């Protein structure tokens, strides 16, 4: 048995429901999962409920997009209290910012002759979470581009794109603190894939560890075995937790399935032990 601790649902930019994701986990023989949607815990309660029914342990989680200047890094929070009022109110304000920002990007696209409207964008998004992948899907539906990648260019909504609008940014430290206040464990997601920045090296990780980071995602679908070994060594040297997952997004993940990256039981056990020692309570269920 093993775990997949990183994937997305319809509540952010994946396109599978919690029920479908649990079925996928079962069909792969996985007994522990974490739904780690971008900036939202909207799907977590449903995931836990279905997991309980079907005998799959669900660790509550989130994946925050954070920024240090132009450099975007993702911070995973595990075992967060997904019902905490202060935590929810902070992420709701992040949602509101996302909506306003997406409307601005649609307006900018309109100005350069891409005639999509915000309603087309939210059609493929959840109630609250909306981001560039949804805008890209609306552009595909309207026939302006053929695939999601084409939207993420300088012509459209790539980070230096004509119609790009930046987010009001959460810093890594703010995300780490939010996760800790919600009783969770903060882990750097896919350290090799940092948007607009170089892959993290030991110094980058030390810097985050000094800000309270407790683990790194060593195993990830876009990190080769060699890269995983590199980060495993750093995790050992710095005494950081080791996590891993597929980062499955549904149809958006061509050739990838949930469970294609598995985290060994020993690391899951270390994560749980760490959690129990730090917070002294059973998991955030």
Interacting residue ranges for Fe ion, rule: CB under 5 A? 63, 74, 189, 247
Stretch that binds ligand AMP, among 42-50, 109-117, 145-153, 220-228 (CB under 6 A): 145-153
* Residues in 61-80 at the binding interface with ligand AMP, rule: CB under 6 A: 65
Q: CB-wise, 4 or 63, nearer to Fe ion?
A: 63
In whole angstroms, give the CA distance from residue 141 to residue 158: 18
Shortest gap between Cβ of 136 and ligand AMP (angstroms)?
A: 7
Number of other CB atoms surrounding residue 124 within 10 Å: 18
Residue 14 makes contact with ligand AMP by CB under 6 A? no
Residue 247 makes contact with Zn ion by CB under 5 A? no
Classify 109 in phi/psi space as left (phi over 0), alpha (psi -120 to 50) or beta: alpha
Q: Which of 13, 39, 57, 217 binds Zn ion (CB under 5 A)?
A: 13
Classify 214 in phi/psi space as left (phi over 0), alpha (psi -120 to 50) or beta: alpha
Q: CB-wise, 148 or 213, nearer to ligand AMP?
A: 148
Structure tokens at 17: 């429901």
Eight-class DSSP state of 45: H
Residue 13 makes contact with ligand AMP by CB under 6 A? yes
Write out 155-194 in H/E/C secondary structure: CCCCCCCCCCCCCCCCCHHHHHHHHHHCCCEEEECCCCCC
Q: At what angle do helices 132-141 and 85-111 cross, to 10 degrees?
A: 40
Stretch that binds ligand AMP, among 85-93, 147-155, 196-204, 274-282 (CB under 6 A): 147-155
Binding site for Zn ion (CB under 5 A): 13
Binding site for ligand AMP (CB under 6 A): 13, 38, 65, 131-133, 148-149, 152
């Amino acid at each position: 048995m093993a775990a997949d601790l990183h994937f997305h649902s319809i509540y952010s930019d994946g396109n599978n429901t919690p029920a479908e994701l649990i079925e996928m986990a079962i069909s792969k023989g996985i007994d522990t999962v974490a739904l780690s949607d971008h900036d939202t815990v909207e799907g977590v309660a449903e995931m836990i409920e279905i997991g309980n029914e079907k005998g799959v342990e669900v660790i509550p989680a989130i994946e925050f997009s954070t920024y240090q200047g132009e450099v975007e890094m993702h911070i995973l929070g595990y075992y967060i209290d997904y019902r905490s009022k202060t935590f929810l109110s902070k992420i709701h304000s992040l949602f509101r910012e996302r909506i306003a920002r997406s409307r601005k990007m649609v307006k900018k696209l309109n100005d350069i002759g891409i005639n999509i409207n915000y309603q087309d964008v939210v059609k493929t998004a959840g109630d609250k979470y909306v981001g560039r992948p949804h805008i890209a899907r609306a552009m595909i539906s309207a026939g302006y581009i053929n695939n999601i990648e084409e939207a993420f260019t300088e012509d459209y909504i790539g980070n230096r794109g004509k119609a790009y609008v930046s987010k009001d940014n959460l810093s890594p430290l703010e995300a780490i603190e939010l996760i800790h206040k919600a009783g969770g464990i903060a882990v750097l997601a896919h350290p090799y894939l940092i948007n607009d920045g170089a892959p993290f090296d030991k110094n980058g990780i030390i810097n985050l560890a000094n800000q309270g980071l407790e683990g790194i995602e060593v195993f990830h679908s876009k990190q080769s075995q060699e890269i995983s070994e590199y980060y495993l060594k750093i995790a050992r040297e710095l005494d950081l937790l080791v996590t891993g997952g597929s980062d499955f997004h549904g149809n958006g993940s061509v050739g990838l399935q949930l469970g294609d990256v598995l985290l060994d039981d020993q690391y899951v056990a270390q994560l749980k032990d760490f959690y129990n020692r730090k917070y002294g309570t059973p998991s955030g269920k």
